[in-house]
Structures are given as structure tokens and as C-alpha cells.
Amino acid sequence: MRLSKEQLHELIATKLHKAGLTEDHASGVADVLVHADARGVHSHGAMRVEYYAERIAKGGLNSNPEFKFEKTGPCTAIFDGDNGVGHVAAKLAMDEAIKMAKENGVAVVGVRRIGHSGALSYFVQQAANENLVGISVCQSDPMVVPFGGSEPYYGTNPIAFAAPGKDGEHITFDMATTVQAWGKILHARSKNESIPDTWAVDSNGERTTDPFKVNALVPIAGPKGYGLMMMVDVLSGILLGLPFGNKVSSMYHDLTEYRNLGQLHIVINPEFFTGIKGFQEDIATTMKDLNNIKPAPGFDQVSYPGQRSAEREKKYEENGIEIVDHIYEYLISDVVHNNAYDNKSPFAK
């Protein structure tokens, strides 16, 4: 099924409002989910709606949070999300970080006590759209074996970055610190497809191609990814006085409980360094240089980070966003949720 951005946004917002969110917050979540689907990151798009709807309906997300923003220094602040939907809290926190960076050159804003916030690329692009550099990291529940270990300790702990070029084009990347994000496993399950044997391990610690047998993910590049996920956990958990490591709450264990997750935004204003005009020109040059590099065998072109997602978004705008049929059927149904996620392990089927 193919839908326009507007059609998909309306279906998602309507479902989340029916689950208990205010219309404003339901629309805010839909903004982030449609952004993900439009860029081809379906693991963080509409397929997440039923999970959110179940958690909202069962009280595990605060449907009427009291957000609080407190500056703790000229360039630092804490945004307390009161365990509301992370998408909205993270967006508003980035808005505040942008204001601070425009005034003072840099901003570091911790986002405390939130639910899952979706694709981090959305938030760093908020900064890039304002001619600023954006960095965002967030913690997630333990489902990754540390390098050399056999039991999960850290989450997929993603990192996102965006820098503005010219004419509205950005360099953007949004990556899990695992070989692959957990959402990609879910996407493979939704399409009943196998996964590469480099993504995950089963209950015996053996590599698996069956997404339904996954018991833990593995760090990207072994000890290097392990170090990165540790860094993200420190910045978005310990630094904000939140649960960390294997103490981070499970996404699925009890959907009646708040998750108390953390996220950290860092925004840098190029005008305070090299100047925005020169910065944008050099970013644009970087994009062209990368595109002009002779491609390796099997590749048509070297793409700069975020280029293929941006191109995919343009195609979707022309032809509609492809949504898996059973997800579309759920979105148009009268069902709020099917009680499919509560009290499951992180690797529940």
C-alpha cells in the first residue's frame, strides 16, 4: 500500500489520539514517524504505532505530561519530559537548544524522563535546517552483548549527526552502535524475511539468520562499537542521573510503567567558528567530492551520508510511501491495539 505523507500522518495521528494522546502530541509523534518512513527507515515508522498505542492505553506513557525546561548555565540545560512521548519532548528540547546555540555558539541539552523518541535524524535535522550542526544520542534497553561477553548489557544506543550544506541539503547520519538496529530485526519479522548472519546471535550465542531466533545484537566493529555504546550510555544516562547499562527499563516488559529514558542534544553554531557561509560551502564541496570519487566494483556512485535517504524521500513524495499491508490494515481499523507487546522479552515475537 502506498500513501502520501499527509495520508500516513493523518492515520498515525488519529490512532495515537484514540489511544489517549492529545491531538497535538499525536501529531508530533506522527511527524517523526512519517519522517522515518519517508526516508525509507521503516523500522522507526508506522510499524511502531501499535506498540506506542498499547503503551499509551495502558498508562506506560504520560498522555498529559508537564514539561519543564531549566537552564543550568549559559550553554547547558535540562528538559524534563515527565515521561511523555519522547518524540515531542526531544523535538521541543531541540528547539530550546537551537535558541541557545544561536545566542551563545553552542548548546548542550539533556532530555530526562522520556519514552522512546524514534529516529534521531529528525532532531538533528531540526538543527541543520537552522544552519546549525546537530548531534543527538540516546540510550535504549539492554539487548546487546558487550565485546567478549555472552549476556546483554547495553542497548543499541544510537548516534545522529547533521550539518547544513547549501540549498537545503544536509549531510546526515543516524546509526545504531550495533551492526544493525533492533528495528531492522522487527522489520524483517514483519516481512517474514531472513537477516544477515552478522547482525545478531541466538540464545546460544551463535550467529543466526532467523529474526525470530534473535536473542542479542552485536556491537558494530567489535570493541569500537562497544566503546561507542558505552559513551552514549554515559552521556544520555549517567550524566543525566538516570538508570544506565542493564538497568535501563525494557521496551516491552511492563507497558504500564514509565521508562525514564534519557537523550542528549548538542548543537554547534558555525558562525562562532569558521562562519556559516564558508562552512556551508565546504560541506557542499565535501558532498561533491564524495560523489566524484571513483566507485568501487559493484557500486554506481559514492554517496555522502544521508544522500540516499534524501533521494528516497523525493521518490516517495512523487509516488507515495510504501507501507506493509498488515500495518495499513491496523491503521485504518477501529482497534487501538491487540495486546501484542506487554510483558514480552525485548526479543519477543
Distances (CA, A) of 268 to 30, 98, 127, 175, 275: 27, 9, 9, 20, 12
Query: Around 287, how many Cα atoms within 13 Å sit in the side-chain half-sphere?
Result: 21
Rounded to whole angstroms, how far apart are CA atoms 84 and 68? 12
Question: Do 102 and 132 meet the contact criterion of CB atoms below 8 Å apart?
Answer: yes
Residues annotated as catalytic are 116
Number of other residues whose CB lies within 10 A of the CB of residue 301: 12
Judged by DSSP in three states, 27 sits in helix
Rounded to whole angstroms, how far apart are CA atoms 32 and 35? 5
Residue in the block written with cell 550553554: 75
CA-based radius of gyration for the chain:
20
Report which DSSP code applies to 333: S
Q: Helix, strand, coil shares of the chain as percentages rounded to 5?
A: 40, 15, 40
Question: Do 321 and 38 meet the contact criterion of CB atoms below 8 Å apart?
Answer: yes
